[in-house]
């Protein structure tokens, strides 16, 4: 039965055996150092795709390797199971979101198990289960009690397709919903927010501590938080006690302010508008309400605005300047007003040109002169002119001096501003965590008492996909007495953004079955932070920023001790498939419809097709189902290929020939072990006391592999080169002719042990065939013997009185003194030098040693 490598038989056998032995259960031995290896948990959409396989295989290799290195490892898996697709399935197919989700989880769990991923399933978490979302609600109340969860009327991003509100992070750079792809509209609604802005500074500063994160991700977060330092300044409204507040990063340009602009929604807008301008202003406000935020702020469109007729005072110049309103100023950002400095701001320049407003230059290039007529805004720092007492100062000094000047006169102050907005978490949908709040006409927003959690999602609801959320339509569920005063009150019917569920799941794994609390602080202290987190770059802002925010809030509530949840982050690249595309029409073509794949042409038009690699997707007909590959070659080959083909953080091009190549490699390992066994080889053979050259060479290859693979499993996890090293070691064993030596035995045993994290089934099978009784996954990671690494030997000629007497082997790179000593001690040296007096020794490094004897 051992004559052929049959992955289907072997893999099924060992998966069953491992489950029976509970091999993947988390080791809690307190003597061992901890290691927390985590993949971003999936949304249970139905089937695993190759992106999942890649993400989970990378983390699995790391987890398995750390176990062998003596760590107790936490390596869990779970399901980010709330969200819109389940609800959409309910609307489209009449299946309850809970049932749809459970079916998908069952399917995907089976596929994960088939891959041989070493998860501790006893710690599985599912965010849509009441025993999980009960604690999501509990944690929401922590935010509420800390004043970090609040409701406010706000202009929100409204997705007209999904009929729901989106967070800013869920709107892409084209102003489309991250899920439905619909163009997002602006609407005014009462919404729940989490006050992430209270942590803006810490979220920004602590990025520095994240030395194990990709720079790219840290930069994206820093830009998203968007800190800018500048001045808050106030412009008094002429004929009124009120003032218009602005924030500027360029207080050095304040003498160049020739107008101020309010957002159309600004409460001062109608107050400053003169009666003559009222009609125009009202019409303009109405038209702006139709525009999305993106349309309003797009750089390439005309700057629309109208004068209000009102005037403000520039306190620095004493001049009266007009007050305008414009669509590009948003009320939610900053103060909802800006000062217009057309000479030194590109947008203001365009606006002033379009509306014939004065342009006054107050900054010139450090060595330049003022232009009589500016052709574009000069936006660089420079030297001040036309700026009263500040003339001649450079921009940096002037910024400080002008801010100081304003502060002493009560016109403003220094200020720091962030781009980050509070996190809008209200969703008008069913399949999410109910917000545990009851609205009482007497007491306002009252938290549901913690003893009454969870607020269960009602089962019997109607899914129409239109209008208000199904919960809002459930009178019986909504109407409850106020927990404080008993007055008839109403439940909150919004559910939470599912990004809240995923903002704390990594804590729950540390204590997944706790029914008394979200987690025991001792368990968090024991396991957190996550030592290695692996997931896609698409979560660089959303999930990773929210999780960092949650961690800091829970720390301040005394629930966790860490300030950052993820010590190291690896963002794996995409899996791309070979894609056939008609370059003229842009249409993707199904490969099976192409007559000749070596010269592909469009089956409809006969035009030549373009062959490119693009992210695998159904619509591009370039996907490869993990199940197909596993059925054909087994999970070990699938794992090996996906690790070998590209470094983890780079995109990977799927290639059937390379999959086949990895299958052949595993077959080679199989045959090596069969031959070894046939020659009487077994585990634990002793090393010979002295080694032949062939043995030394083989042993060097073995220990070089240990060293290289151990190095590859640190830092950036160069798992592709680790697989290449495994292949090199197998080649060295294949070509060695000392296969009955203990060195060969050490080589086979080392190959299997190093291979174990990568191809866990095959290595386990062969380990047992060689007499292993405990699992190979419980063996210690091999250690490098530094003496075995000593580089090649070299041949050195021994001469006596210039006459060649023979050669000796010495370690390469031996020094002159070492060469001389080795020559004297060698058999040749003993024979020809015995009883002689050496007068002189001539050493030609790396070549020869010549002894000159006394006569
Ligand atoms: Zn009440």
Q: What is the pLDDT of residue 47?
A: 87
Q: How far is the CA of 379 from the centre of ligand 1 (A)?
A: 56
Q: How far is the CA of 482 from the centre of ligand 1 (A)?
A: 5
Q: How far is the CA of 443 from the centre of ligand 1 (A)?
A: 4
Q: What is the pLDDT of residue 1?
A: 44
Alpha carbon distances (Å) from 799 to 359, 627, 832: 93, 68, 10
Q: How far is the CA of 440 from the centre of ligand 1 (A)?
A: 5
Residue with more model confidence, 45 or 289: 45
Q: What is the pLDDT of residue 179?
A: 75
Q: What is the pLDDT of residue 595?
A: 87
Listing DSSP states for 542-563 in one string gives: HHHHHHHHHHHHHHHTTS-S-S
Q: How far is the CA of 138 from the centre of ligand 1 (A)?
A: 20
The predicted-structure confidence for 726-735, as pLDDT tens digits, reads as follows 999 999 999 9
Q: How far is the CA of 492 from the centre of ligand 1 (A)?
A: 14
Q: How far is the CA of 447 from the centre of ligand 1 (A)?
A: 11
> Whole-angstrom Cα distance, residue 112 to residue 121?
11
Q: What is the pLDDT of residue 814?
A: 81
Q: How far is the CA of 516 from the centre of ligand 1 (A)?
A: 28
The predicted-structure confidence for 6-39, as pLDDT tens digits, reads as follows 999 999 999 999 999 999 999 999 999 999 999 9
Q: What is the pLDDT of residue 466?
A: 61
* pTM (predicted TM-score): 0.85
Residue with more model confidence, 150 or 165: 150
Q: What is the pLDDT of residue 2?
A: 53
Q: What percent of the chain has pLDDT over 70?
A: 98
The predicted-structure confidence for 382-402, as pLDDT tens digits, reads as follows 999 999 999 999 999 999 999
Q: How far is the CA of 384 from the centre of ligand 1 (A)?
A: 61
Q: What is the pLDDT of residue 544?
A: 97
Q: What is the pLDDT of residue 465?
A: 60
Mean pLDDT, range 174-197, rounded to an integer:
86
Listing DSSP states for 551-615 in one string gives: HHHHHHTTS-S-S-SBSBEEE---EEEEEEE-TTT--EE-GGG-S-TTS-B-TTT-PBPEEEEEE
Q: How far is the CA of 703 from the centre of ligand 1 (A)?
A: 73
Q: How far is the CA of 442 from the centre of ligand 1 (A)?
A: 5
Q: How far is the CA of 126 from the centre of ligand 1 (A)?
A: 34
Q: How far is the CA of 469 from the centre of ligand 1 (A)?
A: 24
The predicted-structure confidence for 829-839, as pLDDT tens digits, reads as follows 888 988 888 99
Residue with more model confidence, 789 or 465: 789
Q: Which two tokens stand for residue 88?
A: 């959409």
The predicted-structure confidence for 688-705, as pLDDT tens digits, reads as follows 988 888 999 999 999 999
Q: What is the pLDDT of residue 458?
A: 95
Exposure string over 25-59, b if 16+ CB within 10 A, otherwise e = ebeeeeeeebbbbbbbbbbbbeebbbbbbbbbbbb
Q: What percent of the chain has pLDDT over 90?
A: 73
Q: How far is the CA of 468 from the centre of ligand 1 (A)?
A: 25
Q: What is the pLDDT of residue 687?
A: 92
State yes or no: pLDDT of 623 exceeds 90.
Answer: no
Q: How far is the CA of 494 from the centre of ligand 1 (A)?
A: 20
Q: How far is the CA of 141 from the centre of ligand 1 (A)?
A: 17
Q: What are phi and psi of 339, to 5 degrees?
A: -90, 140
Mean per-residue pLDDT of the chain: 92
Q: What is the pLDDT of residue 33?
A: 98
- Identify the band that residue 187 occupies on the pLDDT scale cut at 50, 70 and 90: confident
Three-state secondary structure readout of 67-110: HHCCCEEECCCEECCCCHHHHHHHHHHCCCHHHHHHHHHHHHHH
The predicted-structure confidence for 472-484, as pLDDT tens digits, reads as follows 889 999 999 999 9
Q: How far is the CA of 478 from the centre of ligand 1 (A)?
A: 15
Q: How far is the CA of 366 from the centre of ligand 1 (A)?
A: 65
Q: How far is the CA of 607 from the centre of ligand 1 (A)?
A: 72
> Whole-angstrom Cα distance, residue 457 to residue 436?
11
Mean pLDDT, range 148-157, rounded to an integer:
87
Q: What is the pLDDT of residue 372?
A: 66
Residue with more model confidence, 331 or 246: 246
State yes or no: pLDDT of 326 exceeds 70.
Answer: yes
Q: How far is the CA of 435 from the centre of ligand 1 (A)?
A: 17
- Identify the band that residue 94 occupies on the pLDDT scale cut at 50, 70 and 90: confident
Q: How far is the CA of 487 from the centre of ligand 1 (A)?
A: 6
The predicted-structure confidence for 515-562, as pLDDT tens digits, reads as follows 999 999 999 999 999 999 999 988 888 899 999 999 999 999 999 999
Q: How far is the CA of 479 from the centre of ligand 1 (A)?
A: 13
């Amino acid at each position: 039965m051992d004559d052929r490598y049959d992955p289907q038989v072997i893999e099924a056998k060992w998966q069953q055996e491992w489950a029976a032995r509970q091999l993947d259960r988390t080791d809690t031995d307190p003597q061992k150092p901890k290691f927390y290896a985590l993949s971003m948990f999936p949304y249970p959409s139905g089937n695993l795709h190759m992106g999942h396989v890649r993400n989970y295989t990378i983390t699995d290799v790391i987890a398995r390797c750390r176990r062998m290195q003596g760590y107790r490892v936490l390596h869990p898996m779970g399901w980010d199971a709330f969200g819109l697709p389940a609800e959409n399935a309910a609307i489209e197919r009449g299946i309850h979101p809970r049932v749809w989700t459970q079916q998908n989880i069952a399917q995907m769990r089976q596929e994960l198990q088939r891959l041989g991923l070493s998860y501790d399933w006893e710690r599985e978490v599912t965010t849509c289960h009441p025993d999980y979302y009960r604690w999501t609600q509990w944690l929401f109340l922590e935010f509420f009690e800390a004043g970090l969860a609040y409701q406010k009327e706000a202009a929100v991003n409204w997705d007209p397709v999904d009929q729901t509100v989106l967070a800013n992070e869920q709107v892409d750079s084209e102003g489309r919903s991250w899920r439905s792809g619909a163009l997002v509209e602006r609407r005014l609604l009462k919404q729940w927010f989490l006050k992430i802005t209270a942590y803006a500074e810490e979220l920004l500063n602590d990025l520095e501590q994240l030395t194990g994160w990709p720079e790219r991700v840290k930069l994206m977060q820093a830009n998203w938080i968007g800190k800018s330092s500048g001045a808050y300044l106030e412009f008094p409204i002429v004929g009124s006690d009120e003032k218009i507040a602005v924030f500027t990063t360029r207080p050095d340009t304040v003498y160049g302010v020739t107008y101020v602009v309010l957002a159309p929604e600004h409460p001062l807008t109608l107050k400053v508008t003169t009666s003559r301008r009222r009609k125009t202003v009202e019409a303009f406000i109405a038209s702006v309400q139709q525009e999305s935020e993106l349309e309003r702020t797009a750089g390439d469109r005309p700057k629309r605005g109208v004068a209000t007729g009102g005037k403000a005072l520039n306190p620095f110049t004493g001049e009266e300047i007009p007050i305008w309103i414009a669509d590009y100023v948003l009320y939610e950002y900053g103060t909802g007003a800006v000062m217009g400095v057309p000479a030194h701001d590109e947008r203001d320049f365009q606006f002033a040109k379009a509306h014939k407003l004065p342009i006054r230059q107050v900054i010139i290039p450090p060595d330049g002169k003022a232009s009589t007529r500016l052709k574009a805004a000069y936006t660089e720092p420079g030297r001040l002119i036309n700026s009263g007492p500040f003339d001649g100062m450079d921009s940096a000094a002037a910024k400080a001096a002008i801010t100081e000047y304003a502060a002493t006169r009560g016109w403003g102050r220094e200020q720091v501003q962030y781009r980050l907005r509070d996190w809008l978490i209200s969703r008008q949908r069913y399949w999410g965590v109910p917000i545990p709040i009851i609205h009482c006409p007497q007491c306002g927003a009252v938290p549901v008492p913690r003893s009454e959690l969870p607020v269960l999602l009602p089962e019997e609801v109607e899914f129409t996909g239109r209008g208000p959320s199904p919960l809002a339509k459930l009178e019986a569920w909504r109407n409850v007495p106020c927990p404080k005063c008993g007055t008839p009150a109403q439940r909150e019917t919004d559910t939470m953004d599912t990004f809240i569920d995923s903002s704390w799941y990594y804590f729950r794994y540390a204590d997944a079955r706790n029914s008394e609390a979200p987690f025991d602080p001792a368990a968090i202290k024991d396991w957190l932070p996550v030592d290695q987190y692996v997931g896609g770059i698409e979560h660089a802002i959303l999930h990773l920023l929210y999780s960092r925010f949650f961690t800091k809030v829970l720390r301040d509530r005394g629930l966790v001790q860490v300030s950052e949840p993820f010590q190291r982050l690896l963002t794996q690249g995409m899996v791309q498939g070979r894609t056939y595309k008609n370059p003229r029409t842009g249409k993707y073509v199904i490969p099976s419809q192409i007559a000749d794949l070596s010269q592909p042409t469009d089956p409809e038009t006969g035009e030549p097709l373009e062959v490119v690699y693009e992210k695998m997707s159904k619509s591009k007909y370039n996907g490869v189902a993990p199940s197909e590959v596993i059925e054909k070659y087994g999970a070990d080959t699938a794992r090996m290929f996906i690790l070998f083909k590209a470094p983890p953080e780079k995109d990977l091009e799927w290639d059937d020939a390379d999959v086949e190549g990895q299958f052949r490699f595993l077959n080679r390992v199989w045959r090596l072990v069969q031959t070894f066994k046939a020659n009487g080889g077994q585990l634990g053979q002793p090393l010979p006391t002295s080694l032949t050259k062939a043995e030394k060479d083989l042993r060097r290859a073995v220990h070089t592999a240990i060293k290289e693979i151990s190095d590859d499993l640190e830092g950036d996890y160069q798992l592709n080169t680790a697989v290449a090293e495994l292949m090199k070691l197998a080649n060295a064993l294949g070509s060695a002719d000392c296969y009955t030596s203990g060195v060969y035995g050490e080589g086979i045993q080392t190959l299997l042990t190093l291979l174990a994290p990568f191809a866990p089934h095959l290595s386990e099978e062969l380990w047992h065939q060689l007499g292993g009784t405990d699992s190979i996954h419980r063996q210690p990671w091999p250690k490098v013997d530094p003496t075995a690494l000593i580089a090649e030997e070299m041949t050195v000629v021994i001469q006596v009185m210039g006459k060649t007497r023979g050669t000796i082997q010495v370690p390469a790179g031996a020094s002159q003194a070492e060469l001389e000593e080795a020559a004297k001690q060698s058999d040749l040296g003993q024979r020809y030098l015995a009883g002689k007096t050496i007068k002189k020794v001539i050493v030609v490094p790396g070549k020869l040693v010549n002894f000159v004897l006394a006569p």
